[in-house]
Amino acid sequence: MVDKKRFIKGIKQKHDWQLTDNQVTPESVFKDRRNIIKTLGLGAIGASLPGQVQAGIFDLFGKNETPKFLTHVLKYAQPSEFKLAQPATPKSKAIRHNNFYEFGTSKTDPYENAQGFKVNPWQLTIEGLVDNPITLDYDDLTKQFALEERTYRFRCVEAWSMVVPWVGFSLASLLKQAGIKSGATHVAFETLFDPDQMPGQKNRLLGGGIQYPYVEGLTLDEAMNPLSFLAVGLYGKTLPPQSGAPIRLVLPWKYGFKSIKSIVRIRVMDKQPPTTWNQLAPNEYGFYANVNPEVAHPRWSQATERSIGEGGLFSAQRIPTQMFNGYGEYVADLYKNLDLKTYF
């Protein structure tokens, strides 16, 4: 049952999993010369340059900095409604172990291939069955809505997990501003389609065989649930491209593939929209994709997950997976009449 009181400013109730800010792991500094060369597009040529020339390249960016996409600090209201007892995954892990097939299918491809991604100008449209269609430009994304920080558990369908402090605003606040028309039942989401910037959209092999643009969807009740979050930042700063800049969805009770990145269109509809992974392999990836330790993926169990922390994926600790990723008190009611084995 959703406890509505906990969402009213000032009357929120503390849970044992709520924590103070200083328990969130701080940003760690990333120093990797090999990646600097790759990001500069020098590849093998760069690696074979004489040491002195290489040193000159590094001096351009200072000794400890990579020439990466620039993020900036976000201002958001404190304290947050959502905190966790678990420490957050180190930032260096959360931004270097990603799934963003538009930039390649390996976990490090998005970090390595997305640093030149341009997010300004940007346009996000909210359209379809709404009273007031909205277009948000790049500045609107961080300025039109009061931002808050939420530390959520994040569980990928591949059975790894992280804990990430996101900054953003609720999806419901945006949909309410647009005004939902009667008869609406679902909400569809679409990622940018720009093959010149996204190599995976140009090259079928690099893009994992997905038919782009990447699309996702929710029922209207799911979209209006207080947990559904539009993130514009993480670890206190605007999103880097590999994490879905400039705006992405975060749905902590669902498998990570529902949390669509770099969104350009939100469409309110009167039927269930097609979704990327469901179209690709309907027997493996359902429309709902709720985290459920009792429903195995056809090729692996979902009962446990590798929690990614300091040590990386293979030294990661294996922990039990929780029903709805531990967010049942907010979302279980949405599915009380649904057979979750059939509608996985």
Return residues touching ligand MTE (CB under 6 A): 98-102, 156, 191, 214, 243, 256-257, 259-262
Nearest residue (CB) to ligand MTE, 102 versus 148:
102
Nearest residue (CB) to ligand MTE, 170 versus 201:
201
Nearest residue (CB) to ligand MTE, 129 versus 163:
163
Nearest residue (CB) to ligand MTE, 101 versus 330:
101
**Cα–Cα distance, 211 to 203 (Å, whole number):** 11
Q: How far is the CB of 200 from ligand MTE (least distance, A)?
A: 8
Q: How far is the CB of 104 from ligand MTE (least distance, A)?
A: 10
Helix or strand or coil: residue 111?
A: helix
User: Can you say how many angstroms the Cα of residue 212 is from the centroid of all Cα atoms in its chain?
Assistant: 18
288 and 278 Cβ atoms separated by less than 8 Å: no
Nearest residue (CB) to ligand MTE, 126 versus 231:
231
**Cα–Cα distance, 228 to 31 (Å, whole number):** 34
Q: How far is the CB of 344 from ligand MTE (least distance, A)?
A: 16
Q: What are phi and psi of 160, to 5 degrees?
A: -120, 160
Report CA-CA distances (Å) from 30 to 6, 95, 132: 37, 10, 44
Q: How far is the CB of 58 from ligand MTE (least distance, A)?
A: 27
Nearest residue (CB) to ligand MTE, 101 versus 327:
101
**Cα–Cα distance, 290 to 101 (Å, whole number):** 21
**Cα–Cα distance, 68 to 112 (Å, whole number):** 9
Q: DSSP assignment of 318-335, as one string?
A: EEEPPGGGGTHHHHGGGG
Q: Determine the residue with CB nearest ligand MTE.
A: 256
Q: How far is the CB of 144 from ligand MTE (least distance, A)?
A: 22
Q: What's the first-to-final CA gap in the chain, in angstroms? A: 21
Dihedral sign for Cα 186, 174, 324, 237, please: positive
Q: How far is the CB of 314 from ligand MTE (least distance, A)?
A: 17
